[in-house]
Chain A
Amino acid sequence: MSERKQFFPRLAVEAGGNRWDWLLLPMVLALLVLLAYGGQQMARPYQLGETLPLSLDPTNLPYYLLRTTLRMFLALGASTLFSCVFAVMATKYRAAEKVLVPMLDILQSIPILGFLSITVTAFIALFPGNLLGVEFAAIFAIFTSQAWNMAFSAYQGFRTVPAELKEAASVFRLSAWQRFWRLELPFAMPGLLWNMMMSMSGGWFFVVASEAISVSNQNIKLPGIGSYIALAIEQRDLVAIGWAIGAMLIGVLLYDQLFFRPLLAWADKFRFEESGSETAQNSWLLNWLRQTDRMQGTVLAFVKLLERSFGVFRLRHDGTSIRARPRLHSSTPERIWDAIVAAVVFYAMWTLIHFIHTEVGWGEVGRVFVLGLYTMFRVIVLIFLAAVIWIPVGVWIGLNPRLAERAQATIQFLAAFPANLMFPVAVVVLVRFDLNPDIWLSPLMILGTQWYLLFNVIAGASTVPTELRYAAQNLGLKGLLKWRRYLLPAIFPSFVTGAITASGGSWNASIVAEYVTWGNTTLKAHGIGSYIAEMTAVGDFPRIALGIGVMCVFVMGFNHFVWRRLYRMAEDRLHF
């Protein structure tokens, strides 16, 4: 008892924390207040048909920014959780892997916007009389634009845990729970984090579409940057668009500095390569946090809690126990499972064929395929053009280390910038000069995704071994020969990586880029993207489904027959 008595006064004296704590306190409090306020606004009562107040007054923008960012972070949280669950299921259970991985492959190539119209009704029904339903629909739409690449990256990470570390975990008898926190998640962390950043950037692109929802002839505009932009487009207000761009830039800057930088700097310890070649990330906020006393204490308390859970979820028997005796292996359940999966697939195919036959007709399918070919042609040409422009630039930047460091931050920023904000400008120009939308709308598709190409080329060029550079100089390689024999092969693998992302993004972007509205002017290019967008506007579900399905086939075909082969070739032959 006496010990307790001594303990309390000491706690009271030290409760103040150090000066770093005090400096950080206003920030933390402000954050908490904002979160609470945003959360409260999200859950307020709402009846379908009610119009939510929305104005183009720029003073409302901070509030809209808060709401939008909150949605994006909720979606990011959900995506992270989903990725972990997915990775665990797919790596632990072969039966799950057989279904989950192909499913994700398909989901990944389904255009995100397609989800929205299908799911929003269900979400609204889930929370009658409350705005939460619509909010969840919007969050779900953002989630679908973020989750797949994160899940794949986590799965990849979980699967490639080095064999020796796995053996060490077994020898020291880590339970599945301990293994997840101590081995698998840390190992997958760098890739997961990188994909989180990419997802966050990608999410902005679809904010407009996910916040301004049309369902059963109702136009719901949730307060947020996306709706603000949608309203500005309706009212042809270029100045408001400018304000929105500004607000977004500030938003991107804020969460970059306050969230991703500290996280990246902290996650530096999870890098598996033992060499310290890559320059470590630095974050002022993390440095600050590390100097605080109470704040850090709070975080450490959570870590302690987690570590205590290791004691609870531990292996309670070892290899000599009767419980460790292996069960007789039987392949019957596996067979049954395979049969079920096969049956479901066949049923789905039959339904699909039946659906096409009765609802849309085979002629329509053919027409959509032709439209898909148009879009594919655009994607190929655009990737080619982007390569022609960005490879020389990227190589030039990459070979200058000082330039590369600064350029990378800028380009990450550019990648986060939603290109669809530029669309109104494009419409104005196209209409003014009476240009052919079939040609001139196309560049919009790659506006947002070209940065991945540049980013990867820079990364590739900056990892060219110095010795190789000297050798090329020494041999006097010049002009075409220099590009053919030295530079292009050297950056090829990273180029392919960038091009895969860029082309995937372009397919997705075609839905918004081939069908652009500005007030009551609508410009339309022939392609599968505009087909889906048009059908969504009309609300023709069978045709939306058909468009999505066909695009899915195109994207997967493209991935399998072009990108994966190039990727494998790059992996086999062109690396250092």
Chain B
Amino acid sequence: MATPIVELKSVGKSFRSADGSARSVLDGVDFTLREGEIVALLGQSGSGKSTMLRLMAGLIAADSGEVLYRGLPLHGPADGISMVFQSFALFPWLTVQKNVELGLEAKGMPAEERARRAEAAIELIGLSGFEGALPRELSGGMRQRVGIARALVMEPDVLLMDEAFSALDVLTGERLREDILELWESGRISTKAILVVSHNIEEAVMMADRVLVFASDPGRVRDELPVRLSRPREVESSEVRGLIDNVYGLMTTGTLRAGRVTEKEVKLRLGDRLPEAEVARMEVVLEVIADEPFLGRADLPKLVAETELADEELLDVSSALTLLGLAVLDHGDIILTPLGQQYVRAENIERKEIFGRQLLEHVPLVAYIRHGLEQDPSGDLHEDMFLRLLRFSLNEADSNSALRIAIEWGRYGDLFEYSFNTGVIKMPESEAVARE
């Protein structure tokens, strides 16, 4: 067994929400990163994979358990651990050369030595000729190359990549990924292990020797999938496709909490998060599933290709559709229910009716708002009341997003109206008149 580099021992982390209650983000995570491997962390937003990466980077401290680097407890950023950021985190006022030298300069390395090493790293990552450029002159892909050179020049033991390709367009991202894998395979970099956080399933399968699937609320490692394929891997090969299917299956099965993609029907509670799915996107996906070539049953990876949505977006849409009873999930496939079929065939008015009815039945938050409006003599209520309620179980960002989604859905289902300017939710005009 290869030497462990970074070890997490039953690590837990929670963040304090504004009302003072702690919300657990990670709970009892055990993980070992060993020499010679690339590990990918997959999971939906809020599953704590970014938190885990930051724990390993020494950027945040664990509340319980231990993080060890080379057997020593880690209390802050360590010399041998480097990181590549999602939106590059380059210093816009420093040239490419100075950006790459940043970590070496911080270490107090003499200027000549620094310049020599930076030169080499810039050469290695294919940026020669751009040493004097400012980041703003470069395209996204080139900027991320600077970010990678800046990390590699430190000659790190461990390279952490936080969704490093997600801010790039697909082709650029793939190209950069291949370049990194090439460097890794050729042994020209001293890095002993790479940890990749991603929400792109294909990316994870193409890069990693192990894929870890995270469960959320609180985040923990739910499944581990070894990838024993030699590199370079072919995206279109049946092994890779099979693995991608597998991961989709893993991500949509099991004992996930309500509000997440799941096969079992779990009742949502009032204070749960809602999947980030706009109505328009849900309708498009429904129509694509109903249409050729899927005819009511679609393989999720294929659906991703067809709709050109990101994995994360499609997973959110699928969970919203299952939540509303318009579709069900089955081993990485999504299948329209009879109601879903009816919805696709229906005209606008009928669609809204179905949507509204399903909302009242399956989304407690929407039902609660509607009930509140019906009970209230004036027929309008301020959004803050509901936000305060959500804050008991969710943090600020999640409460806002849950309410925003509930409002969007409710508006579409003709259950209530909302004014952005005043923050007031009220009964729809037509019903308000009817009541009087």
Contacts and interface: CB of A to CB of B under 8 A. Distances in A.
Q: Which residue, of B75, B79, B136, has the highest number of chain A Cβ atoms within 10 A?
A: B75
22 contacts: A165-B91, A168-B102, A171-B58, A171-B59, A171-B82, A172-B102, A173-B79, A186-B91, A269-B92, A269-B93, A270-B92, A270-B93, A272-B92, A307-B111, A310-B105, A315-B106, A320-B73, A324-B75, A325-B73, A325-B75, A326-B61, A326-B75
Contacts of B154: 172
A400 B296 CA distance: 56
A326 B105 CA distance: 25
Contacts of A164: 85-89
Q: Which residue, of A272, A311, A315, A318, has the highest number of chain B Cβ atoms within 10 A?
A: A318
A433 to B, nearest CB: 48
Q: Which residue, of A186, A274, A325, A326, has the highest number of chain B Cβ atoms within 10 A?
A: A274
B136 A320 contact: no
Contacts of B77: 170-173, 318-319
A319 B292 CA distance: 56
Contact of B78 (A319, A325, A573): A319
A345 to B, nearest CB: 26
A438 B94 CA distance: 56
A167 interface: yes
Given A276-B136, A310-B108, A320 B102 contact: no
A100 to B, nearest CB: 24
A178 interface: yes
A223 B345 CA distance: 88
A482 B106 CA distance: 56
Given A171-B57, A186-B91, A186-B93, A314 B108 contact: yes
Given A167-B59, A271-B92, A272-B92, A175 B76 contact: no
A183 interface: yes
B348 interface: no
A198 interface: no
Nearest to A269: B93
B134 interface: yes
Interface in B355-372: none
A353 B114 CA distance: 63
Nearest to A573: B421
A186 B102 CA distance: 15
Contacts of A269: 92-93, 134
Given A171-B77, A311-B108, A318-B79, A165 B72 contact: no
Nearest to B160: A171
Q: Which residue, of A173, A276, A315, A320, has the highest number of chain B Cβ atoms within 10 A?
A: A320
A575 interface: no
B70 interface: yes
Instruction: Tell me whether chain B's interface is mostly helix, strand or loop, or mixed.
Output: loop
A168 B89 contact: yes
Contact of B89 (A167, A314, A321): A167
Nearest to B71: A320
Nearest to B95: A269
B74 interface: yes
A182 interface: yes
B103 A172 contact: yes
Contacts of B85: 164, 167-168
B191 to A, nearest CB: 15
Interface string B102-119: 110111111100000000
A325 B74 CA distance: 8
Interface in A137-184: 162, 164-165, 167-168, 170-175, 178, 182-183
State the 9 A-B residue pairs at the shortest beta-carbon distance, nearest first: A319-B76, A172-B103, A311-B108, A324-B75, A168-B89, A319-B58, A164-B89, A320-B72, A319-B78
Nearest to B104: A172
B194 interface: no
Given A170-B58, A314-B106, A314-B107, 10 more contacts: A167-B59, A168-B83, A170-B77, A182-B91, A269-B93, A274-B136, A310-B105, A320-B69, A320-B75, A321-B75
A165 B88 CA distance: 9
A60 to B, nearest CB: 44
Interface in A313-337: 314-315, 318-321, 324-326
A446 B378 CA distance: 47
B76 A324 contact: yes
Contacts of B72: 320
Nearest to A172: B103
A296 to B, nearest CB: 15
B78 A318 contact: yes
A231 B59 CA distance: 63
A315 B79 CA distance: 11
Contacts of B103: 171-173
A175 B77 CA distance: 12
Given A186-B93, A271-B92, A274-B136, A318 B106 contact: no
B94 A182 contact: yes
Nearest to B102: A172
B189 to A, nearest CB: 17
A417 B135 CA distance: 39
Contacts of A186: 91, 93
A173 B136 contact: no
Contacts of B111: 307
Given A173-B79, A182-B102, A307-B111, A320 B74 contact: yes
Nearest to A325: B75
A178 B106 contact: yes
Nearest to B150: A172
B12 to A, nearest CB: 16
Contacts of B420: 573
A165 B86 CA distance: 11
Interface string B263-299: 0000000000000000000000000000000000000
